[in-house]
Amino acid sequence: MKRKIIIFGGITIVVLAGAFLFYFFYLGHPTRQTLAKVNDEKVTIEQFNRELAKMENPLQEMYKEEPNKFLDIIIIKTLLVQEAKKQGLSVPAKTYKDITKDFQSPEEALVAELMKKKFSSPPKVTREEVDTFYSIFKGQMGGKNLKEVAPMIEQILQEEKQREEVGRFVEDLRKNAKVEIDQERLQKIAAKPPESNTPDDFKKALTDGKPFLVDFGANSCIPCRQMRPVLKEVDKEYAGKTRVLIIDVYKYQDLAREYKIQLLPTLVFFDPKGKEVFRHMGVLDKEKIVAKLKEIGMSI
């Protein structure tokens, strides 16, 4: 009897230890912690990271810095999938040819079916709406008359109306859903955004006696983020001959106003005397940046 008790006790300990290890290494793993609940359906850090890995840079980096925005995308997708299931929709069977031509995950395919059912008919566009659009944008129609461009205008208006309908549909789903977000946990996984130069760095460059470039941009601007690797390369390769400064216009609004920045990014080139000699609005490739810096006095 005593031996049976000992054996039973040993088995119990093994089972409890196994359960503890399962919880600690699997369920208790940080990536399986819950970021949000959408109508009691969990969104874990693991799911968040898996979805984020599908994004390309610079969007991936931007969402890492502002995970609340990407989490909102996941929440909306979850709500749409839930709604599709509630309506009894299913993914139609596809052939191998269909799959290789247009691959979609089961969730994406389900959302597509929901959108197809919900918005099967294009919104109606009146003749008055077409006329109004034409009268406003007539100067941009390349001299074409209303009859020539009416079908194109109607399509533009239909697409805009459909976007608005989809927006209202999603907004209603979100409004009627039970969504709980762990803000503290969300904040912990947020990556630190890249730092910009300061107005003091700018003042120093003005009196440094070397030509330099200032990128007036923002971390939330996709073209600006696409430019960053190029600007860093130029700054590193020509260190001591020039400087490339990155100024966040939202952080240093006074400086942006002083230089009348209207479009992001705006690249402003200064000569060795600190005088603005050239500016370019939008993305500029590395060769043109280097050529312009040499043109305004950068030593080779």
Give me the DSSP letters along 264-280.
SSEEEEE-TTS-EEEEE
Distance between CA atoms of 9 and 129, rounded to whole angstroms?
A: 80
Q: What angle do CA 295, 260, 196 make, to 5 degrees?
A: 75
Three-state DSSP at 246 gives strand
Is 283 an annotated catalytic residue? Answer: no
Is 221 an annotated catalytic residue? Answer: yes
The dihedral over CA atoms of 208, 212, 216, 219, expressed in degrees to the nearest 10, equals: -90
Which letter does DSSP use for residue 202 in this model? Answer: H
- The token pair at 112 is 């597509």
Q: Which amino acid is residue 98, in one-letter code?
A: D
The residue annotated as part of the active site, out of 71, 149, 221, 290, is 221
The residue annotated as part of the active site, out of 74, 157, 224, 247, is 224
* Of residues 252, 286, 256, the one with CA closest to residue 268: 256
Distance between CA atoms of 240 and 99, rounded to whole angstroms?
A: 54
- The token pair at 199 is 């107005």
Catalytic residue list: 221, 224
